[in-house]
């Protein structure tokens, strides 16, 4: 048998994660300082699968740039218009020679899960999820798929599709519509058997605040390492990873798991609590406290701030005494209402003057906020809060 191939779908925007998807597709959102797709590629490599095709589309330049920097050669195909998953797979057809795995590029899948499916001919990985209506719900009988219901209002079971499949090239004969579940239905109607295999670990972020949970999960596997300059009076406990060029100032306390990228300036006297990811070129000014947060590149957080349960997009500049205040609230996203508890999700380039308080707030890209406001709920891109 020829070595197994894998097709990763990374063309879709993932619009329920707006405002974070303005400059990158969901697969490129960094979680624990690595884009989600990197975990998928890593899991494939762990299983010896090196012949990888990535379908790109939305903001493809950013994806291709990133893929080029990896050590493994990755084949890139472009889906010109984002019509659906089956259409995306169709654009990779010319690169496929035999049996292959199909994986979404914007979910985490563990290496063990892939080991379970890679030797199957027609199979899917499923998992249990407390809110199955956001996914393709799978009805399973005797270890085989009986049917898939795409985002049903009333889900008959809690088993959902992870979007990870193993296929033979016959699948290309079933791609009549633009969605994979239709192709599966076609195969089932023809009497084809599709084995249902439970995934060992799989994570998805449907809404932007779900990234915090995913971030905490990914930080669990963090390999500690310290480069950069760490002050002798700083205290590092637990799993902490610090990139090169980063300075950790005096009396800073870091309680892992925490990952910090390159060329950052943290402290003096900052406190970084568990489940926090800080990307590159980030500046955390003195006396600031961070916990349960995901901070992307080029962010500055002013001194005396308290940041809890927050996602900050690239290049946010927040003045001193910024507070994010986790609170439970209802949000209307993509036509549905959902309940959630988090402090703030800020798009790229948000600027907040000193003494801003974010309370369960999703602020769009380039929002600017004047001094001393309390900002709540959804705020559109480019808004000025005065």
Partner 1 sequence: MCGIVGYIGRREATPLLIQGLKRLEYRGYDSFGIATVGSEIDVFKKQGRISESEAGTVVLGGSVGIGHTRWATHGEPNDSNAHPHTDCTGRLALVHNGVIENYIELKKQLLERGHIFRSETDTEVIVHLLEENFTGDLLEAVKKTVPLLEGSYAILAVSAHDDRIVAARDCSPLVLGIGDGELFAASDMTPLLEHTERIIFLEDGDIAEISPERVEIYHDGAKVERSVELVNWGIEDAKKGGFAHYMLKEIFEQPQAFYETIRAGISDAVQEMIRDAEEITLVACGTSYHTALIFKYLAEPLCRIPVRVELGSEFKYYPPPLRGLVIAVTQSGETADTIAALKMAKAHNCPTLAITNVQGSTVTRIADTTLMMRAGPEISVAATKSYIAQLAALMEIVNVRCDGKYDDLLQHAHLAIGEVLLQEMQGAVALCREAEHVFFVGRGPFYPVSMEGALKMKEISYVHAEGYAAGELKHGPFALLTPETPVVAICPPGSTYGVMISNIKEMKARRAPIIALGKKGDTELAEIVDIFIPIPDSDPMVQVLTTSVALQLLSYHTACALARDVDKPRNLAKSVTVE
The token duo for 285 is 């000014």
Contact 254, 291 (CB under 8 A): no
Q: Which is closer to partner 1, CB of 106 or CB of 298?
A: 298
Stretch that binds partner 1, among 28-36, 68-76, 130-138, 220-228 (CB under 8 A): 68-76
Q: What are phi and psi of 188, to 5 degrees?
A: -65, -40
Contact between 303 and partner 1 by CB under 8 A: the answer reads no
Do 6 and 49 touch, CB atoms closer than 8 A?
A: yes
Helix (H) or strand (E) holding 229, with range, is strand 229-230
| Closest CB to partner 1 among residues 33, 323 | 33
With CB under 8 A as the rule, give the number of residues binding partner 1.
24
Residues 316-335 that bind partner 1 (CB under 8 A): 317
Q: Assess 229 for contact with partner 1 (CB under 8 A).
A: no
60 near partner 1, rule: CB under 8 A:
yes
Answer whether 315's CB lies under 8 Å from 346's CB: no
Nearer to partner 1 among residue 62 and residue 289 (C-beta): 62
Stretch 269-298: interaction string toward partner 1, x if CB under 8 A: ------------x----------------x
67 is a contact residue toward partner 1 (CB under 8 A) = yes
CB 263 within 8 A of CB 280: yes
Closer to partner 1 by CB, 76 or 253: give it: 76
Judged by CB under 8 A, the chain residues 245 through 274 that form the site for partner 1 are 263
Written as six digits, the tokens of 274 are 């568990």
Of 213 and 283, which CB lies nearer to partner 1 in the complex structure?
283
Question: Is 378 among the residues that bind partner 1 (CB under 8 A)?
Answer: no
Token code pair at residue 383 = 């808004």
Query: Which contiguous run of DSSP H or E holds residue 40?
Result: helix 36-46
109: number of Cβ within 10 Å: 27
1 burial via Cβ count (<10 Å: 0-12, 13-18, 19+) = exposed
* From 34, 42, 50, 64, residue interacting with partner 1 (rule: CB under 8 A): 64
Nearer to partner 1, 200 or 263 (CB): 263
Q: Which stretch binds partner 1 (CB under 8 A): 6-14, 26-34, 214-222, 310-318?
A: 310-318
Beta strands in 116-158 (DSSP E): 123-128, 136-141, 144-150
Q: Which of 234, 348, 356, 361 binds partner 1 (CB under 8 A)?
A: 348
The pair of three-digit structure tokens given for residue 384, joined into one six-digit string: 């000025």
Supply the minimum distance, in Å, between the C-beta of residue 17 and partner 1: 16
Q: Tell me the HSE value of 112 on the side-chain side, using a 13 A CA sphere.
A: 5
Nearest distance in Å: CB 65, partner 1:
6
Asked if 22 interacts with partner 1 (CB under 8 A), we say: yes
- Helices vs. strands in the chain: H and E counts, helices first: 6, 39
Tell me which residues touch partner 1 (CB under 8 A): 22-23, 56, 59-62, 64-65, 67-69, 76, 78, 263, 281, 298, 314-315, 317, 348-349, 366, 382
């Amino acid at each position: 048998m020829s070595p197994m191939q894998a097709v990763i779908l990374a063309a879709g925007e993932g619009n329920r994660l707006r405002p974070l998807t303005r400059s990158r597709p969901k697969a490129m959102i960094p979680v624990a300082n690595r884009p989600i797709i990197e975990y998928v590629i890593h899991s494939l490599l762990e299983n010896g699968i090196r012949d990888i095709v990535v379908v790109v589309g939305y903001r493809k330049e950013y994806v291709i740039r990133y893929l080029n920097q990896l050590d493994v050669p990755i084949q890139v195909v472009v889906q010109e218009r984002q019509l659906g998953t089956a259409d995306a797979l169709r654009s990779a057809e010319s690169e496929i020679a035999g049996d292959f795995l199909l994986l979404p590029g914007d979910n985490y899948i563990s290496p063990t899960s892939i080991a379970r499916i890679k030797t199957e001919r027609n199979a899917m990985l499923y998992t249990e999820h407390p809110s199955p209506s956001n996914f393709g719900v799978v009805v399973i009988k005797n270890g085989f798929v009986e049917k898939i219901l795409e985002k049903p209002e009333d889900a008959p079971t809690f088993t959902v599709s992870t979007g990870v499949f193993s296929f033979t090239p016959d699948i290309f004969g079933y791609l009549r519509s633009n969605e994979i579940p239709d192709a599966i239905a076609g195969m089932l109607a023809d009497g084809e058997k599709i084995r249902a295999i439970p995934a060992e670990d799989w994570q998805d972020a449907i809404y932007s605040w779900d990234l915090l949970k995913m971030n905490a999960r990914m930080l669990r596997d963090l390999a500690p390492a310290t480069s950069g300059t760490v002050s002798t009076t700083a205290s590092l406990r637990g799993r902490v990873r610090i990139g090169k060029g980063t300075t950790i100032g005096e009396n800073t306390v870091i309680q892992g798991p925490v990952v910090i990228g390159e060329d950052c300036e943290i402290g003096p006297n900052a406190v970084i609590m568990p489940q926090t990811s800080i990307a590159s070129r980030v500046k955390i000014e003195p006396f600031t406290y961070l916990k349960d947060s995901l901070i992307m590149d080029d962010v500055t957080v002013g001194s005396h701030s308290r940041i809890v349960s927050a996602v900050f997009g690239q290049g946010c500049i927040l003045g001193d005494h910024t507070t994010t205040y986790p609170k439970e609230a209802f949000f209307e996203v993509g036509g549905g209402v959902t309940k959630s508890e988090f402090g703030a999700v800020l798009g790229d380039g948000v600027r907040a003057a000193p003494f801003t308080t974010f309370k369960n707030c999703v602020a769009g890209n380039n929002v600017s906020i004047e001094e001393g406001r309390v900002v709540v709920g959804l705020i559109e891109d480019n808004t000025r809060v005065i």
